[in-house]
Amino acid sequence: MVDQGPFADSLDRYAGRPGYDLRDEDLGGRPGRVVRFRSDDGATYTVCAQVPDLDRLTVVVTADRSVPEQVPLEIVRSIRQST
């Protein structure tokens, strides 16, 4: 899911989920943050990224646990501003 604007997911509501992790990262040359967590039953995990400087651009990727976690991480880390 990709969203942008004042109503984009703030990513704050995921704190406390299993495996929750929040890190500040450079995303496309801009400061951003990446959040990771697992579903309650462990069947899926989610990787989210947000770049506030790009009108709060938010990307959320949910994957089955059989998908290597590096795959959704690469997706959210590929955020770039188009010119």
**For residue 77, what are its two tokens?**
């880390």
Please state the domain extents for the chain: 2-77
pLDDT of residue 13: 92
Residue-wise pLDDT tens digits, 20-61 = 999 999 998 899 999 999 999 999 999 999 999 889 999 999
More confident residue, 20 or 82: 20
* Residue 82 reports pLDDT greater than 80: no
pLDDT of residue 83: 56
- Sheet architecture: strand order including 21-27: 2-3, 57-64, 44-51, 30-38, 21-27
Q: How far apart are CA 29 and CA 42, in angstroms?
A: 33
